[in-house]
């Protein structure tokens, strides 16, 4: 039977019927007293529920409750106004015990005092609490709605990265939507409270004027008697309504000013205000100073000073742990750690970029010992971040006693990508290709570019420079090597978090374009793949707007990352060509023999860009031909550019990249219309 009643959910309909009855019918005085008491109890329950909620969404029904409570209070005002005007001439008890108690007991039977108290309550409610809560609700709603796209993209990023699953992503999306709905509803609900305060003032004036008119004209009361009876009842009625209104306004203020935490307001206040004994100790000292000033109320100030001082002492003792207890706790902790099973907390995450140094290189990274390496690495990160178009991850530096004392090792995703042995007390003289003599020292290779070099003493620095050597210190050697590694592996350094941040920045500049791109045109993972393909060929991704526009258009016909990357390259053609040739109008290029290009197209169609099918020996001949043509361009002091059709551009770009040849591979579509090309060499099948 109870389950059936629960299914009907009669609470709200019955409450609405009660509101309608209070507004239209003359209700008994006893029912009016019960309704006033219920209204006060409801306000107290709502206030306490707001205080004990751990976060605003735990009381998501608050805007609706606030609306219902406001309607109930207004309905009671209508019902009580009817009773006061009809029965007010008979005395205080005629309008009910609750109104009489507030008119006689609370304000002492003095209608002037009651009027002042009512006005003060209205000022507190309307000017202070309601106005502040309304402003906070408005700002919270605005910022919550503005932050929704970023939060949704963050959820999509976590989902694409595998941090959360579909169920968790759905729950988080619902929470974001609920948060936006809640603060939007609170922004509107605060207007109910403000309107209720204004209605209370108007009802008070109407009741006093109407009561004087009815009492003197209909019941032949004197002015003073009518003023006393009706004013006291009206003020009692106003106080009965205004106190619950103030409680609900306070509840609304508590909800909108609540910072999400796993503690209720009481615990949070106690932990944050009284965690440090110094606040109470200083307050106790100031209260004591006030207490000993002649003419001040000594008992009140000195008593509070003693209480504050005692509280500060107890908090200080609570924060201090005796030595014996520390030892016991430490022993228990060690015992607990020994008994704890191996868990996920024991798995250390892999550093994106890591630098391990031997113990003799520690001074290079120690600022107190004059180490410059940290400053150099920061400069390298800033420079590359500006060039690439995204924030390069920080380098995690640690010492490694397993390394040779003078050695360092650079790792990428936990894999070693560079290592060398240096001498922190020497200078590295690098042979740039043309020097005019020999110098004495420890012969080696430059770690970054593999050039011949010599570690020399500081005293031989000027002599080496005069002979044409490039001389750098040990910190610069490591920083240059790290710079080279970052440039070679720029595509690996770009991850989901970096792409998500790029999307947030694009959303600030072009919100519509950002929404169309992700998830409209491509997924976040698809965008990451395209950007990595661009970075792998040394193409910066600074112009994210052009990239997004090209992807949005190209994604309508294909979702293949290679095809999308080619479309972006065409959109960025001016920048690509400028980075290679500068401002030159005439472009010297190397082309393929049409027969060879046709063979490569067939090989690509039979295989793929990553694994084309080439006849035996053809790859070697092609590599030698391209290398020979590139050498001639290098001797002439001009860039080496291989110009081919877009069909085989990706295949050849991977081919020359894997063969470690410094040559750019462009397609015909990537040459701007205002540029002229000159073919300086043709690579044929039999070259």
Domain ranges of the chain: 2-136+191-266, 274-319, 353-492, 494-571, 577-687
Low-confidence residues of the chain: pLDDT under 70: 1-12, 22, 87-96, 100, 103-111, 130, 132-154, 156-163, 183, 187-190, 193-194, 197, 220, 227-229, 258-275, 319-346, 605-616, 659-661, 685-687
In Å, how far are 70, 105, 191, 441, 444 from 228, measured between CA atoms? 29, 15, 34, 110, 106
Residues in the chain: 687
**CB contact at 8 A, 683 and 622:** yes
Q: What is the pLDDT of residues 222-249, one digit of tens each?
A: 777 776 667 777 777 777 777 787 787 7
**pLDDT at position 486, please?**
93
Of 403, 431, 429, the residue nearest 416 (C-alpha): 403
**pLDDT at position 251, please?**
78
Strands 427-430 vs 470-473: parallel, antiparallel or unpaired: antiparallel
User: How many angstroms separate the CA atoms of 459 and 427, rounded?
Assistant: 10
Please enumerate in sequence order all residues whose Cβ is within 8 A of that of 542, keeping only pairs 6 or more positions apart, or say none.
Answer: 387, 388, 389
Residue whose entry in the numeric block shows the structure tokens 């540029």: 675
Q: What is the pLDDT of residues 144-157, one digit of tens each?
A: 666 666 666 667 66
CB atoms within 10 A of CB 433: 8
Tokens of 457: 């003493």
Query: Domain spanning 494-571: which CATH class is it, in words?
Result: mainly alpha
Angle between helices 561-571 and 524-536 (to 10 degrees): 60
**CB contact at 8 A, 569 and 530:** no
Query: Domain spanning 353-492: which CATH class is it, in words?
Result: alpha beta
| DSSP of 144-194 | HHHHHHHHHHHHHHHHHHTSS-HHHHHHHHHHHHHHHHHHHHHHHHHHHHH
User: How many angstroms separate the CA atoms of 444 and 455, rounded?
Assistant: 7
CATH (one of 3.40.50.12790, 3.90.1300.10, 3.40.50.970, 3.30.160.40) for 577-687: 3.40.50.12790
Burial of 585 (0-12, 13-18, 19+ CB in 10 A): exposed
Q: What is the pLDDT of residues 302-317, one digit of tens each?
A: 787 788 788 778 877 7
**CB contact at 8 A, 88 and 77:** no
Residue 587's DSSP bridge partners are 677
Instruction: Examine domains 494-571 and 577-687 and report if their fold is the same.
Output: no
Buried b or exposed e, range 127-162, using 16+ CB within 10 angstroms: eebbbbbbebbbebbeebeeeeebbbbbbbbbbbee
User: How many angstroms separate the CA atoms of 673 and 503, rounded?
Assistant: 31
Of 673, 500, 458, 652, the residue nearest 570 (C-alpha): 673
In Å, how far are 375, 393, 403, 413, 473 from 367, measured between CA atoms? 9, 21, 22, 27, 16
User: How many angstroms separate the CA atoms of 632 and 687, rounded?
Assistant: 15
User: How many angstroms separate the CA atoms of 128 and 46, rounded?
Assistant: 20
Of 521, 430, 537, the residue nearest 481 (C-alpha): 430
Mean pLDDT for the chain overall:
79
Q: Which helix (H) or strand (E) holds 485?
A: helix 474-488
pTM: 0.52
Of 175, 171, 166, the residue nearest 148 (C-alpha): 175
State the Rg of the chain over Cα: 40
């Amino acid at each position: 039977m109870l389950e059936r009643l629960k299914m009907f959910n009669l609470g709200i309909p019955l409450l609405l019927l009660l509101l309608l009855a209070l507004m239209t019918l003359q209700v008994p005085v006893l029912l009016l007293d019960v309704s006033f008491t219920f209204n006060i109890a409801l306000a107290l329950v709502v206030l306490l529920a707001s205080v004990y909620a751990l976060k605003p969404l735990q009381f998501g029904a608050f805007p609706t409750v606030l609306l219902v409570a406001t309607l109930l209070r207004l309905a009671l005002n209508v019902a009580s106004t009817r009773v006061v005007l009809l029965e007010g001439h008979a005395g205080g008890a005629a309008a009910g015990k609750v109104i009489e108690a507030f008119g006689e007991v609370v304000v002492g039977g003095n209608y002037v005092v009651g009027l002042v108290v009512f006005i003060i309550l209205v000022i507190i409610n309307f000017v202070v609490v309601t106005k502040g809560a309304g402003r906070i609700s408005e700002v919270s709603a605005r910022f919550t709605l503005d932050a929704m796209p970023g939060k949704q993209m963050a959820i999509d990023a976590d989902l694409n990265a595998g941090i959360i699953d579909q169920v968790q992503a759905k729950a988080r999306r619902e929470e974001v939507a609920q948060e936006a709905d809640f603060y939007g509803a609170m922004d509107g609900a605060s207007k109910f409270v403000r309107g209720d305060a204004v209605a209370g003032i108007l009802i008070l004036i109407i009741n006093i004027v109407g009561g004087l008119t009815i009492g003197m004209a209909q019941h032949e009361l004197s002015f003073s008697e009518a003023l006393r009876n009706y004013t006291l009842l009206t003020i009692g009625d106003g106080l009965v309504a205004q106190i619950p209104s103030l409680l609900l306004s306070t509840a609304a203020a508590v909800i909108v000013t609540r910072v999400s935490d796993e503690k209720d307001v009481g615990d949070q206040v106690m932990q944050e205000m009284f965690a440090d004994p110094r606040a109470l100790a200083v307050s106790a000292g100031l209260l004591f100073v006030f207490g000993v000033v002649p003419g001040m109320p000594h008992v009140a100030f000195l008593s509070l000073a003693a209480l504050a001082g005692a509280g500060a002492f107890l908090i200080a003792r609570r924060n201090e742990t005796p030595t014996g207890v520390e030892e016991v706790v430490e022993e228990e902790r060690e015992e607990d750690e020994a008994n704890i099973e191996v868990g996920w907390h024991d798995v250390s995450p892999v550093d994106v970029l890591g630098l391990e140094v031997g113990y003799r290189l520690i001074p290079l990274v120690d600022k107190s010992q004059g180490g410059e390496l940290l400053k150099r690495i920061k400069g390298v990160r800033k420079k590359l971040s500006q060039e690439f178009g995204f924030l390069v991850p920080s380098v995690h530096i640690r010492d490694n006693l397993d390394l040779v004392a003078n050695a360092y090792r650079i790792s990428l995703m936990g894999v070693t990508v560079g290592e060398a042995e240096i001498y922190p007390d020497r200078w590295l003289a690098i042979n740039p290709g043309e020097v005019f003599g020999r110098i004495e020292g420890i012969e080696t290779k430059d770690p970054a570019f593999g050039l011949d070099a010599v570690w020399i003493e500081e005293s031989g620095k000027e002599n080496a420079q005069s002979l044409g050597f490039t001389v750098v210190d040990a910190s610069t050697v490591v920083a240059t090597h790290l710079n080279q590694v970052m440039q070679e592996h720029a595509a690996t350094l770009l991850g989901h978090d970096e792409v998500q941040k790029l999307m947030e920045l694009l959303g600030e500049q072009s919100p519509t374009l950002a929404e169309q791109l992700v998830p409209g045109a491509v997924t976040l993972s698809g965008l990451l793949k395209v950007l990595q393909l661009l970075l792998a060929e040394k193409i910066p991704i600074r112009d994210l707007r052009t990239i997004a526009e090209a992807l949005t258009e190209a994604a309508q016909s294909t979702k293949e990352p290679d095809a999308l990357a080619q479309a972006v390259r065409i959109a960025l053609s001016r920048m690509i060509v400028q980075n290679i040739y500068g401002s030159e109008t005439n472009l010297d290029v190397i082309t393929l023999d049409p027969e060879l290009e046709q063979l490569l197209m067939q090989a690509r169609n039979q295989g793929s860009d990553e694994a084309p099918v080439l006849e035996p020996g053809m790859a070697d001949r092609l590599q030698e031909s391209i290398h020979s043509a590139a050498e001639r361009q290098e001797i002439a002091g001009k860039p080496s550019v291989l110009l081919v059709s877009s069909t085989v551009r990706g295949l050849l770009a991977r081919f020359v990249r894997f063969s470690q040849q410094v040559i750019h591979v462009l397609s015909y579509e990537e040459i701007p219309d205002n540029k002229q090309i000159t073919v300086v060499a043709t690579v044929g099948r039999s070259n």
